[in-house]
Structure 1
């Protein structure tokens, strides 16, 4: 077992040496000033609190485990691949962001049913001009740090990508085309005469829907669960993450961090590459 340490800042050698001592590491390998690999460690529970205090992301990774072992990455969109919750920003165009954001937060913490929360939020958008969606995409949506590096490395190792979201097709399809993702699935906002009706068309992609799409693509390509990585940030991602061999909580809610294989609390999405790069 190896212990991977990574941070946004240069990790002081004293902190690395402390963690190596606690984990009884056979040796320390410095990959970069912000990235270390401690070889042949004994996992220790008290490492988590120390790393969190010093803003270091860590992961106990089996010896030899690498990206090439996987065939599929399934990821959430809002606040995972991208920096915003799209529906909150759409609501801002309607002047009701606080009301919608409050429902979003409650749903992501797992306090209310996602499908019901989505219906309530979308209903508040009734009458909004569809041009607001493009404004959100052009003016507010940004990739989270490290996204392009992560995707480049995944493609290099032959890992397919599925973007599955409780958000909206308007955004997932644009990101799929822009980033060269293999698959994307999300909810469809109903639009009539250029205006949002306040309804969602078709079956809502909720937590179970995300898990179902993961398994659909996995089975289509003959992959085992152990060959799948799932990444998300909210309670709506937990069922999907439970279907994967490796789950990544990205800047996630506590309920998600507690159930994930690994948590990236500080670094960008390229932290996945650092975890499984070697």
Structure 2
């Protein structure tokens, strides 16, 4: 099976991309746009992959080896994590900042994302620190701090135009996923529900926690609902709690991810925006 190599980076120039492509000695190369190049007709080996990826990383370039014929239209669903994937922030860290507790909460978040702490335990501990915070603080985080990651809207629009359904599955909170569902015209969302009484957070989550296993089950449920195999899904994430749902996907994408996630993903976008997926599946 022939492979293609996609090289891309937000600061990459043509000379850099061509220099990296030359390491594979391709029969042909084509500029996809000013910051992306496709190389074809080379002998793929694991050693070549490792060498090109290392050199590309040092140059601030994403290098992706993938089956030459793979297209966006081969898939039926794109599923995304929310915090630090579809959006640039960790919502719970920013909520905690309203309480002056961001360092404590962020430290727990980081430990969970690296896989050093179970997600359910970490979420319970973090949410408990939010007790007494006015619910209106969530609105301030959404309006003042939440931003879509680079290329996120372009990626979603292209996926939707190609007929893919969209799923946002998050260990974060429904307050944010529901607003993003409307804003971005997403088909499905699933997240944790924060409990509130008298206009203030209680420090608890209502119902079960959306942890790594629940994320995987959600992708499986949505695929079953759509009548597709999970191998027809693209799954994008950044943390250890995304590995379960990424493992059942036809294409797993690590976005600005922790090393443990990059090591297990099919594709790693370390520098490009989420729309880097479009060049890979063009």
TM-score, length of structure 2 as denominator length: 0.96
Q: Give the match for residue 118 of structure 1.
A: 123
Which range moved further: 237-246 or 18-27?
18-27
RMSD: 1.0
Which range moved further: 48-57 or 30-39?
30-39
1:56 to 2:61 alignment = yes
Q: Give the match for residue 39 of structure 1.
A: 40
Which range moved further: 221-230 or 253-262?
221-230
Q: Distance in 1 between matches of 2:194 and 2:255?
A: 26
Alignment of 1:161-180 (within 5 A): 161-180=166-185
Q: Give the match for residue 9 of structure 1.
A: 11
Q: Distance in 2 between matches of 1:150 and 1:172?
A: 18
Which range moved further: 192-201 or 58-67?
58-67
Deviations 1:190-230 (A, max 9, x none): 00111100000000000000000000011111212221100
Q: Give the match for residue 27 of structure 2.
A: 26
**Where in structure 2 are there 5+ consecutive unaligned residues?**
none
Shift of 1:174: 0.3
Q: Give the match for residue 155 of structure 2.
A: 150
Number of residues paired by the alignment? 276
Shift of 1:61: 1.8
Q: Give the match for residue 91 of structure 1.
A: 96
Shift of 1:239: 0.4
The alignment partner of 1:41 has SS state of coil
Shift of 1:24: 2.4
Shift of 1:99: 0.4
Q: Distance in 2 between matches of 1:96 and 1:28?
A: 51
The structure 2 residue matched to 1:268, chosen from 254, 269, 273, is 273
Relative to 1, partners in 2 of residues 1:82 and 1:108: Cα closer, same or farther, differing over 3 Å? same
Kept in 1, the 8 Å contact 2:213–2:244? The answer is yes
Q: Distance in 1 between matches of 2:42 and 2:226?
A: 35
Q: Give the match for residue 241 of structure 1.
A: 246
Which range moved further: 257-266 or 221-230?
221-230
Deviations 1:230-265 (A, max 9, x none): 000000100010010100000000000000000000
Alignment of 1:177-192 (within 5 A): 177-192=182-197
Shift of 1:21: 2.9
Kept in 2, the 8 Å contact 1:3–1:41? The answer is no
Shift of 1:30: 1.1
Kept in 2, the 8 Å contact 1:94–1:125? The answer is yes
Shift of 1:22: 2.1
Q: Distance in 2 between matches of 1:104 and 1:162?
A: 23
